[in-house]
Amino acid sequence: MRFDIDRYKEIVDTLARNRSRTLLTGFGIFWGIFMLLIMLGGGNGLKAILSRNFAGFTSNAVIVGSSRTTKPYGGFKRDRYWSLDKTDIEAIKTLVPESDIVTMMDAEWGGAIVYGENSYSGIIKGLTHEYEGVEAPQLMFGRFINEVDCEQERKVCVIGKRVWSNLFPDGEDPTGKYIKVKDSYFQVIGVDSRSGGINISGSSDQSVVIPYQLMNKLYNKGGKFDIICLTAKPGADSEVLQEKIRGLLSRRHTIAPDDKSAIMILDTKKVFTIVDNLFKGVNILVILVGLGTLLAGAIGVSNIMMVTVKERTTEIGIRRAIGATPRMILSQIITESIGLTILAGMLGILFSVLILWAAGSVVSSMPDFSSGISFQIGFWTGILVLLMLVFLGVLAGLAPALRAMNIKPVDAMRDE
């Protein structure tokens, strides 16, 4: 079907006479698309930031720590402090088959770290090479501690990003250089750039990691340490794993079986599940709010098209009289409805993309987010929004189009 220029002039004149309604209706579509995409893009960016905080940390880790007892048991008074030791590691590996990686962690806070004239007060962590399977490092330079470093008790270390930036402000590669950690010198073998939100005994970017066996001797720990870090085997029930560990440590250290405060256990799987459920709920809320706003805009488009059809009753009747089929009238009205919807919607898409791009640029320019955080929506999300606009345009124009189809030439002349 062809549309002549006079017909478009009539359409524009009709919309101009109803300018306030047209602008209000277009703004409703624009605002609905804008808010929907802003919330979707903002949710993507927030999820990326949160995921970055969990970067490198395995989702099936269980962290076990010792604390003071809160109940008397086995002849011991309450408020007794107990410590983990290497025999606990061996016992868990032997008696808890659901466990996979089992390793220890020790930490000293406020350690003086010095290189030349630069210094930093950070955290000294004693780890084994197995810890890499619990919290994978993101190395800027060098490597992580390996099995030989631990067995031979080499005086080597991996420093965090903040330690590196303070000791080496020029941004040079520090591998091979020696730094002073308290009263001992260690050779830097790597730089870990990770600064995750899950911090076990302090943030990794403020830490100096040395072999656990060496740290235990240097600081006279006597084989004791603070934390056991382990992972569950694929398919293992984390609840069963935790109960077995709690029961085993309770028997080995004479702790009341129901004294949960004495044996602290953190299940990272629960943390990841909570975060996933949170974003699922946010996405559902965003979609409901966005669709509600768009539906209100579609109703506005339908109303403005109804007014347009009413004001063009005579024109439509004459066209019917000279041979225009109902299908041609239907196509004309729905096309106008789709055009109005897509025009307002595309403006909403363009404006929201610009806002999201600006937000992503601002966040990415911050030092802690230099890796780049995107707030943009995906390509297929944009395609889906366009299809939804077309559908809403058809839906909004359907009722006015049906009314226009039912206009009879005689009634149109009588109305004139």
Interval 261-317: pLDDT, tens: 899 988 888 877 887 787 788 778 877 877 776 677 667 666 766 766 666 666 666
At residue 2 the predicted structure's pLDDT band, cuts being 50, 70 and 90, is: very low
> Are the C-beta atoms of residues 95 and 248 closer than 8 Å to each other?
yes
Interval 343-366: pLDDT, tens: 777 888 888 888 888 877 777 666
Quote the tokens at residue 188: 């830097």
Interval 41-81: pLDDT, tens: 877 777 777 766 666 667 788 889 888 999 998 888 888 98
State residue 115's pLDDT score: 92
Interval 211-243: pLDDT, tens: 998 888 888 888 888 899 998 888 888 888 989
Helix runs in 229-325, H state only: 238-252, 268-311, 313-321
Interval 84-108: pLDDT, tens: 988 999 999 999 999 999 999 888 8
Mean pLDDT of the chain: 79
How would you classify residue 96: left for phi > 0, otherwise alpha for psi between -120 and 50, otherwise beta? beta
Question: Residue 62: beta bridge partners?
Answer: 230, 267
> Are the C-beta atoms of residues 212 and 104 closer than 8 Å to each other?
yes
List of residues 6+ apart from 225 with CB closer than 8 A: 83, 84, 85, 104, 105, 106, 126, 212, 216
Cα 361–chain centre separation: 17
The DSSP code for 106 is: E
- Burial degree of 263 (CB within 10 A; 0-12, 13-18, 19+): buried
- pTM, entire model: 0.66
Which backbone phi and psi does 388 adopt, to 5 degrees?
A: -65, -35
Of 324, 349, 326, 344, nearest to 401 by C-alpha is: 326
- The mean per-residue pLDDT over the stretch 179-197 comes to 86
List of residues 6+ apart from 117 with CB closer than 8 A: none
State residue 1's pLDDT score: 42
259 pLDDT more than 60: yes
At residue 18 the predicted structure's pLDDT band, cuts being 50, 70 and 90, is: low
